[in-house]
Structure 1
Amino acid sequence: MTYVVAGLVVSVVLLGCAAGPALDLLRRSAVGPGTAVACWTAALAGTSIAAAGAAAAALLAPPGPGHGFLSWLRDCLPHHGRLATAAAAAASAVLAAACGAVLARGLPRLGRAVRRRRRHRETLRLVARADGRHPDVLVLDHPVPAAYSLPSRRRAIVVSTGALEALSAEELDAVLAHERAHLRQRHHVLLLALDLLHAMLPWLPTVRRAKARLPLLLEMAADDAAARAHGRRALVAALCRLSAGPAVAGALGAAGAPAAGALLERVLRLEGGAPEKPRRAARLAAALFVVAAVAVPLLAGAVAVAELARTC
Structure 2
Amino acid sequence: MLYLVIGLVCTAVLLSCLAGPALDRLRRPAAHPLIAISCWFAALAGILIAGIGIVAVALLAPPAPGHGLLEWLRNCLPHHGDEAIIMAAAASLVLLTACCSRLARSLPRLSRAVRHRRRHWETLRLVARAHGRHDDVLVLDHPVPVAYSLPARERAIVVSTGTQEILTPEEFCAVLVHERTHLRQRHHTMLLVLDLAYALLPWLPTVRRARKTLPLLLEMAADDAAARACGRRTLVDALYRLAATPGVAGALGAAGPSTGALTERVLRLESAAMGKPSRVVRAAASAFVATAVATPLLVAGATIVQLSEIC
TM-score normalized with structure 1 length: 0.88
Once the 2 structures are TM-superposed, how far is the Cα of residue 38 of structure 1 from its aligned partner? 0.9
Equivalent residue runs for 1:100-249 within 5 Å: 100-249=100-249
In 1, are the aligned partners of 2:59 and 2:92 still within 8 Å (CA)? no
Once the 2 structures are TM-superposed, how far is the Cα of residue 302 of structure 1 from its aligned partner? 2.7
Q: Does 1:252 align with 2:244?
A: no
Cα distance change, pair 36–266 in 1 and its aligned pair in 2 (3 A): same
In the alignment, the residues of structure 2 paired with residue 100 and residue 208 of structure 1 have an alpha-carbon distance, to the nearest angstrom, of 21
Give aligned pairs, total: 299
Give secondary structure in 2 for the equivalent of 1:158: strand
In the alignment, the residues of structure 2 paired with residue 64 and residue 8 of structure 1 have an alpha-carbon distance, to the nearest angstrom, of 19
In 2, are the aligned partners of 1:30 and 1:277 still within 8 Å (CA)? no
Q: Give the match for residue 297 of structure 1.
A: 296
Q: What code does the residue aligned with 1:191 have?
A: L
Give secondary structure in 2 for the equivalent of 1:139: strand
In 1, are the aligned partners of 2:146 and 2:242 still within 8 Å (CA)? yes
In 2, are the aligned partners of 1:147 and 1:175 still within 8 Å (CA)? yes
Q: Deviations over 1:133-156 (max 9, x none)?
A: 111111111111110010011111
In the alignment, the residues of structure 2 paired with residue 162 and residue 140 of structure 1 have an alpha-carbon distance, to the nearest angstrom, of 9
Give secondary structure in 1 for the equivalent of 2:66: helix
Gaps of 5+ in 2: 77-90
Q: Does 1:270 align with 2:269?
A: yes
TM-score normalized with structure 2 length: 0.88
Q: What code does the residue aligned with 1:272 have?
A: S
Once the 2 structures are TM-superposed, how far is the Cα of residue 26 of structure 1 from its aligned partner? 1.4
Gaps of 5+ in 1: 77-90
In the alignment, the residues of structure 2 paired with residue 96 and residue 29 of structure 1 have an alpha-carbon distance, to the nearest angstrom, of 43
In 2, are the aligned partners of 1:31 and 1:279 still within 8 Å (CA)? no
Once the 2 structures are TM-superposed, how far is the Cα of residue 66 of structure 1 from its aligned partner? 2.9
Q: Give the match for residue 87 of structure 2.
A: none
Once the 2 structures are TM-superposed, how far is the Cα of residue 96 of structure 1 from its aligned partner? 4.6
State percent identity of aligned pairs: 68
Q: Give the match for residue 284 of structure 2.
A: 285
Once the 2 structures are TM-superposed, how far is the Cα of residue 14 of structure 1 from its aligned partner? 0.8
Give secondary structure in 2 for the equivalent of 1:144: coil
Once the 2 structures are TM-superposed, how far is the Cα of residue 308 of structure 1 from its aligned partner? 4.5
Between 1:61-70 and 1:174-183, the stretch displaced more is 61-70
In 1, are the aligned partners of 2:68 and 2:308 still within 8 Å (CA)? no
Moved over 6 A (4+): 91-95
Cα distance change, pair 92–295 in 1 and its aligned pair in 2 (3 A): closer
Cα distance change, pair 27–276 in 1 and its aligned pair in 2 (3 A): same
